[in-house]
Chains A and B, each alone.
Chain A
Amino acid sequence: MAKIKMARKSSSLDMTAMVDVAFLLLTFFMLASQFKPKDVVSPIIPASVSQFKIPEKDIMIIALRNDGAVFFGIDGRPNRQKMLENIAKKYNMTFTPNEIVEFNKMENFGVPIAQLKSLLKMTAEGKSPVQNGIPTDSTNNQLGDWIYAARLANPKIRIAIKGDKQAGYSSAKEVVATLQQQNINRFNMITSLREIPKITN
């Protein structure tokens, strides 16, 4: 009787193809990726059918947190520095070189100007303090000052509003009113893409 020999399978398998795919994917992600900037506010944005891509350069983002707090940020470190200089001139403040460096690093922020220095001090120490938004009320419209300073720093700047779904309309209205005070009647609202629904009737 011939014994049936079990074919022994080698325990090592050929991983060449797998490695190829893995590194292909790795290369893809490395080239395609852009790191998420560290945001102090990350609104859940509403969806729309709009396909317009927001530019990456020359952009000012006014973010609305779900409780209506307003955050402000512009792109590009040189522009940020110029903007801070404009604000310093307007409010008769002086910033140390360290504070300027720290400010340039901030993607966005949401504190009144009076608290800006303590915010910069705390971020320099690696802390992330609670930020409760930039005042937008008509008697003390600091958001308007920031927008003006940013536009002075970069005249080509475009304006985008990045609002949380649950942010109240009244806070959005205040931001729009602030923009309109400076004769800005055209701006963008950042949304995520959704499918165009079919119209049935």
Chain B
Amino acid sequence: MAEVNTGGGDKGGKKRSKKTSTKIDMTAMVDLGFLLITFFMLTTTLSKPKAMELVMPDKEIDETVKQPEVKCSHAITIVLGKSNKVYWYECPDDAENGIPQLNETDFGDNGIRKVLVQKGKQIGSDKFVAVIKPLDSSKYVDMVSILDEMKITDTKRYAIVDLTDDEKKLTEGL
């Protein structure tokens, strides 16, 4: 692909040795280069996906080990509903018979995160427990988001638990 200087060979009758230009036409090479770059850029996976770890409690409970009890007033229950809605409640004043007040919020900056931070400060981060109860109408992304909020708000103690019958009544239609 070199540009060959061919002009002016016969002038003066003298035979000159053909001078080749030092310039090379690199257009085709560049074309090919960029084509390959585009190819590799599109096929490559540069950002490796990350992973969050989830540790579930052991199903078989060892009877000999005393389970730590959680005070009702130290826990809040977070219910995940449909279309990314979050509901939470805390222990009612009358822990035995009182009906808890369900609060609706979301995953926004002023949503469940604020609640978790406030409660964590109020109760003390070593005692505060968040009980997560996703409804069947919630999506996988909700579970990941709430676990993510636990990490963001530095909530150390949390668990994903199934709903009790009373809670099913309370959250009916959510």
Contact = CB atoms under 8 A, between A and B. Distances in A.
A197 B145 CA distance: 13
A29 B44 contact: yes
Chain B at the A interface: SS class: mixed
Contacts of B118: 201
B50 interface: yes
A182 to B, nearest CB: 10
Contacts of A22: 30, 33-34, 37
B140 A163 contact: yes
Task: Determine the interface band of chain B, counting residues with CB < 8 A from chain A.
Answer: 35 or more
A64 B153 CA distance: 28
Contact of A169 (B25, B41, B52, B134): B134
Interface string B7-27: 000000000000000010111
Contacts of B30: 15, 18-19, 22
Nearest to A64: B140
A48 B53 CA distance: 11
B126 to A, nearest CB: 18
Given A169-B136, A185-B56, A15 B114 contact: no
Interface stretch (A30-38, A73-81, A101-109, A130-138): A30-38
Contacts of A36: 43-45
A192 B46 contact: no
Interface in B67-122: 80, 109, 113-114, 117-118
Interface of A: 12, 15-16, 18-19, 22-23, 25-26, 29-30, 32-36, 45-54, 64, 160, 162-173, 176, 179-181, 183, 185-193, 196-197, 199-201
The 7 closest A-B pairs by CB, nearest first: A29-B40, A33-B44, A50-B52, A188-B51, A165-B141, A22-B33, A163-B140
